[in-house]
Amino acid sequence: MQAKEDPALHSRRSLTLRFDIPTSKTKEFWEALKQGRFVTTRCAKCGHVSFPPQSDCPKCMGGEFSWTDLGPDAKVVTFTHVQITPASFVDNDPYIIAICEFAGGPKVLAWLEGVDLPKVKPGMPVKVAARASAEGNPYYVFVPA
């Protein structure tokens, strides 16, 4: 270990990055979510269902697709409880993150709310629910079924 008192240039310039991420290709997902529906894309050519939704098929590269309902029922595949959070989440209490699988369909990662850690088990039935951030951004969480 080095001495903490090693000389350093404490930079007087900060670099702050905050991105505007295009959502034209997934706007139906976010709009359905605002109405409480959880949908994703199904390839018109090969039938592959993707999550996250994408307008180009990763299996056959086809560009034709339809939106299909996924929710709300799913079950927990795996999970964790995050106690040391990133800088941009310092105002959050520790949160449970779970990967949950929809019946016969894709898996989705999100917060699992409304349950204490010791009660969470793989296989636990959950349902997906819509939320909005304080800024009005839509997102989704899982809650016990």
Partner 1 sequence: MGRVAVVGVGHSRFGRRTDVNVAELAFESIKQAVEDSGADRRQIGTVVVGSAGGWYEESLPAVIINEYAGFDSVGTMRVEAACASGSAAVRAAANSIASGETDVAMAVGVEKMTEVDTLTSVELIGRAGSYTWEFENYGMTFPAYYALYAVSHMSRFGTTEEDMSRVAVKAHHYGSLNPLAQFQKEITLEKALGSQMVSWPLKLYDACPLSDGSAAVVLASEEAAKKLTDTPVWIKGTGYSSDSANLSRRDDYVGLRASVDASRRAYGASKVTPDMVDVATCHDCFTIAELMAYEDLGFCKKGEGAKMIRDGETELGGRIPVNLDGGLKAKGHPIGATGVSMTVEITKQLRNEAGKHQAPIKNGIGLVHNVGGTGHYAYVTVLSRD
Return residues touching partner 1 (CB under 8 A). 1-4, 6, 8-9, 11-13, 15-25, 51-52, 54-59, 61, 77-90, 92, 95, 97, 99, 106-111, 117, 121-122, 133, 137, 139
**Contact indicator for 112, 98 with CB cutoff of 8 Å:** yes
Burial of 40 (0-12, 13-18, 19+ CB in 10 A): buried
Q: Can you say whether the dihedral through the CA atoms of 36, 41, 42, 44 is positive or negative?
A: positive
CB of 145 to partner 1, least distance (A): 19
Order the strands of the 65-69 sheet from edge to edge.
49-50, 39-43, 65-69
Minimal distance, residue 50 CB to partner 1, in Å:
9
Tokens 């994408």 locate to 54
The footprint of Zn ion (CB under 5 A) covers 43, 45-46, 48, 57, 59-60, 62
Which letter does DSSP use for residue 68 in this model?
E
Tell me the C-alpha distance between 73 and 37, whole Å: 12
Q: Among a second copy, partner 1, Zn ion, none, what does residue 43 contact (CB within 5–8 Å per kind)?
A: Zn ion
List the single partner that 30 binds among partner 1, a second copy, Zn ion, none, CB under 5 to 8 Å by kind.
Answer: a second copy
Return the residues of window 77-136 that contact a second copy according to CB under 8 A: 87-89, 133, 135
User: How many other CB atoms are there within 10 angstroms of residue 72's CB atom?
Assistant: 18
Task: Compute how many residues bind a second copy; rule: CB under 8 A.
Answer: 27
Q: How far is the CB of 83 from Zn ion (least distance, A)?
A: 41
Q: Which does 35 bind (CB under 5 to 8 A by kind): Zn ion, a second copy, partner 1, none?
A: none
